[in-house]
Amino acid sequence: MKLLVVLAAFIALCAGTAIPLMPGDNSHYVEGESRYIWMPDGEGVPHLVDLREPVDEDFLRTRNGTNNHYWLYTRLNPTNPQRIVHGNVHTIWSSNYNASRPLKVIAHGWNNNLNSNINPLLRDAFLNVSDANVIVLDWYHLAGGFYTSAVRGIPSVGYSLGMFLVWLIDTAGGNWDTVHLVGHSLGAHVVGNAGRAAGGRAARVTGLDPAGPLWGGNSNALNANDGVYVECIHTDGGLLGIHDPIGNANFYPNGGRNPQPGCWISTCSHSRAYQLFASTVVNNHLNGQMCDNIDQVQHNQCSGRTFPMGNGVLPKSGSGLFRLTTTSSYPY
């Protein structure tokens, strides 16, 4: 009996407060219990995060949604962004923004910025298939701080993005039926809050492996009411991502958990969500098969109808749980 007690205490210590030594290895992590987890930056380099780090309230007062930067790309300026400043109409009129084009918005995650891998990958995918206005939200002022502080600041960042989009469309024109918001990790919760602030009018909201740590039961998390159609692609569920079906349609490539094909660490599986999505925008080739429940997802026992994962098609509608199998390299 004493041996069992000691063993239980050791397991609790490892799961709860022990510092993991192998960069990127989150095999120790127990959702809701572990204190530390490895998270990738914009280039995929893992950083150790303390989930009990006190929120820096002074930092939040100066690093919030008012610091958001909005960068516009179009086929006329596919690699040289034009900054649009909320409230400054001159920055719209002097840009290549065109109200007749669809509007795609990209939001990065923690410890990312304008130049992080996700942004050029999704930008180029969208412009490859559509003459669109692509706006990249850069919220690096807050995203570069402690993870716990970034989580607390998500509602402000998302609200400010939502109000920016309302102002942009009211001022320069546009159609909410052609607005597609896309966010990875913490960015998924950012676009959820943005969609909510805009009254749920965005035609599509896509969450790419929405961040999991500190988001279980969090009322500020992405949800199915944040847009007309809300979808999630889950690739690292239970670790860096939420595994629960929080959208209208929820896709679980290879079961939705780590390791994804070709990945050996959780940080790689987390990033796979936006890599898969970018490929579907260009190729529109990955289809999920409908499952009755999460248990079928986990055991690859789904036999329902098929439904396309991702892509950039508007409008898009549907609901349910969908599993699919991918390969380890592009186009997956």
Residues marked as catalytic: 185, 209, 270
Return the SS3 of 25: coil
Question: DSSP string spanning 218-232?
Answer: -TTS--TTSSSEEEE
DSSP 244-281: S--SSEEEEETTSSSPPTT--SHHHHHHHHHHHHHHHH
Alpha helices per DSSP H over the chain: 2-16, 57-62, 89-93, 118-129, 140-143, 147-172, 186-197, 266-283, 294-299
What is the distance in angstroms between the CA of the first residue and the CA of the last residue of the chain?
50
**Are the C-beta atoms of 51 and 34 separated by less than 8 Å?**
yes
Give how far the C-alpha of residue 131 lies from the chain's centroid of Cα atoms, to the nearest Å: 23
104-126 core/surface letters (b: 16 or more CB in 10 A; e: else): bbbbbbbbbbbebbbbbbbbbbb
CA pair distance 95, 114, nearest whole angstrom = 18
Strands 249-253, 46-50: pairing kind: unpaired
Is residue 27 within 8 Å of 36, Cβ to Cβ?
no
